[in-house]
Amino acid sequence: MAKERLDKALSSLGCGSRKEVGAIIRAGRVSVNGQTIRDPAYRVTPAEDSLALGGQQLRWRIGRYYMLNKPPDLVSARVDNLHPTVLSVFPESERRGLFPVGRLDKNTEGLLLLTDDGGFCHALMAPRRHVEKVYVALVSGRMDLSAPKQFAAGMTLADGTVCRPARLTVLGEEDGLTKIEVALKEGKHHQVKRMVAAVGGHVEHLKRISVGPLRLDERLQPGEYRELTEDEVAALRDAARGKASADE
Ligand code: URA
């Protein structure tokens, strides 16, 4: 795990602003692994070093879980040289260690999970876990009438990519486009767009509305996020665990 400055680490643990914790450190009130450190620039390893303030042990807060209503134009990555990432919606003090759970395309909107818990991310994303993700899309062009059947049977795309059986439901018409719902149990690159293209449609707009048992909180405007409740985290863990053990 990457090291970071002691004042930054203390600040992200909620001990005060960088200026405030700088003064606290210089006053000799902070120890790292039992040794008093007076240099705010001293480097610590989050989750590994033991920090104390005024003799009180501080707990690294690992296990943060958020749902973001991803707006278009943000890249699902920690860093990107060209575009702002999904981390940009979080204040700097909350970004430490956070990463997106899987990816949505830059122009895809909707439910994106972020966490600092690698095990949780792996459990949800491992292909054998088959956690279902549901998308709503607006599609132009004429989709084959047999599209739902083709999705249900699974399909091999022109480049040889094999897609597992999926569910396509036509919801109706909106602004001259066909509104569909697609449920996938895997997450291949541009999968919804490519599967829809294979049945004659073109995805004009794509939004993810659920991951396993978790639905996007409709109160979240694009760009807004909230912490998951303990029950929501537990339900996601169960979803990942349930399917894995059924398949193993
Ligand atoms: N399928 C896509 O085509 N794009 C996404 O962002 C997610 C699923």
3 state DSSP class of 96: coil
Residues 6+ apart with CB under 8 A from 116: 62, 63, 64, 96, 97, 98, 99
User: Comparing C-alpha atoms, which of 229, 238, 213 is closest to residue 132?
Assistant: 213
Q: What is the pLDDT of residues 15-63, one digit of tens each?
A: 878 888 999 999 999 999 999 999 999 999 877 888 899 888 887 766 8
Query: pLDDT-based confidence at 166, cuts 50/70/90?
Result: very high
| Ligand 1 midpoint to CA 105 (Å) | 6
Q: Is 49 a catalytic residue?
A: no
pTM given for the model = 0.78
Domains of the chain in start order, with CATH, are 4-57 (3.10.290.10), 65-127+217-247 (3.30.70.580), 132-211 (3.30.70.1560)
Pairing between strand 43-44 and 177-184? unpaired
Amino acid identity, position 82: L
201 or 121, higher pLDDT: 201
Amino acid identity, position 152: A
Q: Is the beta carbon of 192 within 6 A of some atom in ligand 1?
A: yes
Pairing between strand 109-115 and 202-211? parallel
Q: What is the pLDDT of residues 70-129, one digit of tens each?
A: 999 999 999 999 999 999 999 887 887 889 999 999 999 999 999 988 888 888 887 777
Residue 235 and residue 151: Cα distance in Å, rounded? 27
Minimal-distance CA residue to ligand 1 atom 2 = 190
113-117, 141-145, 203-207, 242-246, range with the lowest pLDDT: 242-246
